[in-house]
Amino acid sequence: MIEDKNPQRTDLSQLGEFGLIDHLTKQFDIKQKSTLKSIGDDAAVIDFKKKKAVISTDLLIEGVHFDLSYMPLKHLGYKAVVVNLSDIYAMNAVPTQITVSIAVSNRFPLEALEELFDGIALATKIYNVDVVGGDTTSSQKGMIISITAIGEADEKELVYRNGAKENDLLVVTGDIGSAYMGLQVLEREKQVFQVNPNNQPDLDAYTYLIERQLKPEARKDIKELLAQLEVKPTSMIDISDGLSSEIMHICKQSNVGCNLFEEKLPLDPQLINVCEEFNIDSTTVAINGGEDYELLFTIKLEDFDKIKANPNFTVIGHMVNEKEGMHLITRANTKIALKAKGWNALKE
Amino acid sequence: MIEDKNPQRTDLSQLGEFGLIDHLTKQFDIKQKSTLKSIGDDAAVIDFKKKKAVISTDLLIEGVHFDLSYMPLKHLGYKAVVVNLSDIYAMNAVPTQITVSIAVSNRFPLEALEELFDGIALATKIYNVDVVGGDTTSSQKGMIISITAIGEADEKELVYRNGAKENDLLVVTGDIGSAYMGLQVLEREKQVFQVNPNNQPDLDAYTYLIERQLKPEARKDIKELLAQLEVKPTSMIDISDGLSSEIMHICKQSNVGCNLFEEKLPLDPQLINVCEEFNIDSTTVAINGGEDYELLFTIKLEDFDKIKANPNFTVIGHMVNEKEGMHLITRANTKIALKAKGWNALKE
């Protein structure tokens, strides 16, 4: 599906390992005062001063987490950074540095890695983080990306998964389910393309969904917004594996139950249309989809007035006693036990 | 070559991703006061107080960095941690936490991952570090290990690669070259085994070399030892890619040249014997071998008296003006330009 616009092909071994790392990382300038030592030594050195350090890591494998037949390399680089930063925002912290390790088989020319690193560089610019280390090596098969995100926060700002209390409201940012349906559209087009390579796809009706899948953004705005509204969440998590799965993480770690209301789920109109076209229940997609990189959090009931008028937030449920369990309350007012159907890489 | 002593085989998908992570990480207790939040949230939280944070990361790929036909999984887990901690020690810092991400194909049963994690757990115990995060997922082929090591140091303690000055002495800990020859022995035995699987190898003459390859240790003793001796290195690096390559890193970053003396290279007697057996020049092995995880550092000339009696240290050369270049001075007193023949994964 993706045209090769760059017929140039430079073999990676021409540069050697150190030459390659130099070449790919020279575009990274230092933006953070806390970065005392960046790429080029045995390790990076960071000065968090009075702040706490927040660290998260993710491993992305070609064929498991991404498919290069419809994922442009620049988007992949961008997304790989964003999904890691999302974990830092989910702690109510601010990302400041990342390390980037890449392994590639010799099927990838230098130009492919340059595209990947262009996407990484763009993300670090937009999210204002420094690349302070990493590793570039060869793989036996496909591309492997491992990113560690580092952030900082005052201790009193940090929000964990385990602080939700009975009667707290459950709130989600943005809308959910679109990234998953974007993936379904891309998978369908891939199959059409495999049957007929001359078919030109018309993706106009799916632009929002596809963008949510290929170029997601992390919610860097939420920490400041909540601070302005003077709301501190009691618990928080980001939506990577799916809403249902993330709610269950908060409930289990906070020892509470939850009622989630189907009618409250924030769905984009394009998602609803495409779910109809695909004959898939949009609630199922919204609950189990994953990869939205929105933030899910709980707030005290008395904070409701502070957030109710804000278009970034939707109250989708409330926490109940642990004994009541975790349920979806449908539009027909039936109660269905939540299940973590989140994406499970090990069952692929 | 490695007998399967554990015929039990539990498919990974039986546990699911979250179940697997819980199962593998439950043995990790928290040892460091600075670990405020460990596994189980979006990110770990660490309190470095007045110290600086030191961060390094490595990606290890089956078939590129390790061969499971002679590398027991427990040793692999141990080594994967140690090689990362070595980078932290090379900053004259103390490792405090790690994150561990693993991807495996479905050819690995749960019992294999348990062995790997046993080795990881042993290393974290011996080196007193906490596992604070990570990721466990599937791969299309083979095993992939990504570890990020996190450490701490007072700013004044940190030693970079760029501080070497003309006339400084070049010092190495322990002995070098053995890990490389251990690998050669293991490769030879693998080939013998492939021809005749009933052949029982007699490895008694190679135990030290094999241990250096399969179960290396990082030099956690050196920071304290140097502090006791009141010596602060002017530059430091660990020997992963090979002595020659590491010397060149220090020289280039410090803008100095170097004379390295062949007769001074610290070689274990077993290494010398096995080099003769293999008909390989032991100096070539010592200079280009790699994977020794010893520390290479420079000190001021006036500090020589402080270290000269210590069996942990060998002075192997001195730094010269940048214009003089980087040379090996042979036993025959000829001068050969150093080349970075260090292991290059991209040329495999």
Q: What is the mean pLDDT of each run of 10 residues along chain B (348 residues)?
A: 60 77 84 92 94 96 94 97 98 97 92 95 96 91 96 97 98 97 94 85 91 97 97 97 95 98 98 96 95 97 96 98 97 91 48
Closest CA in chain B for residue A43: B56
B42 is annotated as contributing to ligand binding = yes
Alpha carbon of A263: minimum distance to chain B alpha carbons (Å) = 28
Name which of A148, A253, A346 is nearest B16 (Cβ-Cβ): A346
Select from B46, B63, B88 the Cβ nearest to the Cβ of A140: B63
Q: Do B138 and A345 touch (CB under 8 A)?
A: yes
Report the pLDDT value the prediction gives residue B26, as an integer from 0 to 100.
Answer: 83
Query: Do A57 and B346 lie within an 8 Å CB cutoff?
Result: no
User: What pLDDT, on a 0 to 100 scale, did the predictor assign at position A224?
Assistant: 96
The answer to whether the Cβ–Cβ distance between A46 and B53 falls below 8 Å is yes
pLDDT in tens, chain A (348 residues): 445 555 578 888 777 777 787 888 888 889 999 999 999 899 999 999 999 999 999 999 999 999 999 999 999 999 999 999 999 999 999 999 999 999 999 889 999 999 999 999 999 999 999 999 998 899 989 999 999 999 999 999 999 999 999 999 999 999 999 999 999 999 999 998 888 888 777 888 999 999 999 999 999 999 999 999 999 999 999 999 999 999 999 999 999 999 999 999 999 999 999 999 999 999 999 999 999 999 999 999 999 999 999 999 999 999 999 999 999 999 999 999 998 765 444 443
Residue carrying the six token digits 């890619």: B241
A236 CB neighbours in chain B (<8 A) are 42
Q: What is the pLDDT of residues B281-338, one digit of tens each?
A: 999 999 999 999 999 999 999 999 999 999 999 999 999 999 999 999 999 999 999 9
CB–CB contact B43 A20 (8 Å)? no
How far is B202 from B214, CA to CA, in rounded Å?
17
ipTM: 0.91
What is the distance in angstroms between the Cα of A200 and the nearest Cα belonging to chain B? 30
**A130 annotated as ligand-binding:** no
Considering only the beta carbons, identify the residue of B47, B88, B142 that sits closest to A140.
Answer: B142
Other Cβ atoms closer than 10 A to B337: 8
> Which pLDDT belongs to residue B13?
77
pLDDT on residue B175? 97
pLDDT tens column, A85-139? 999 999 999 999 999 999 999 889 999 999 999 999 999 999 999 999 998 899 9
Query: In terms of C-beta density within 10 A (0-12 exposed, 13-18 middle, 19 or more buried), how is residue A228 classed?
Result: exposed
**B240 marked as part of a ligand binding site:** yes
What pLDDT is attached to residue A348?
Answer: 35
Interface test with A, best of B42, B94, B157 (most A CBs within 10 A): B42
Q: What is the DSSP letter of A215?
A: S
> From the list B58, B139, B340, which residue is nearest A64 (CB)?
B139
Count interface pairs A-B at CB distance under 8 A: 232
CB atoms within 10 A of CB B82: 21
Q: Which of B45, B56, B348 comes nearest A54 by C-beta?
A: B45
Closest by Cβ to B146, choosing from A41, A101, A158: A101
In chain B, what residues touch A134 (CB-CB under 8 Å)?
Answer: 57
Which residues of chain A neighbour B236 with C-beta distances below 8 Å? Answer: 42
Closest approach of A276 to chain B, Cα-based (Å): 31
- A329 to chain B nearest CA, in Å? 26
Structure confidence by residue, pLDDT tens digits, A214-244: 999 999 999 999 999 999 999 999 999 999 9
Tell me which chain A residue has its CA closest to the CA of residue B158: A45
Distance from CA of A331 to the nearest CA of B (A): 30
What domains, with CATH codes, occur in chain A? 12-157 (3.30.1330.10), 169-347 (3.90.650.10)
Residue A343: predicted pLDDT: 47
CB contact under 8 A, B141 and A141: yes
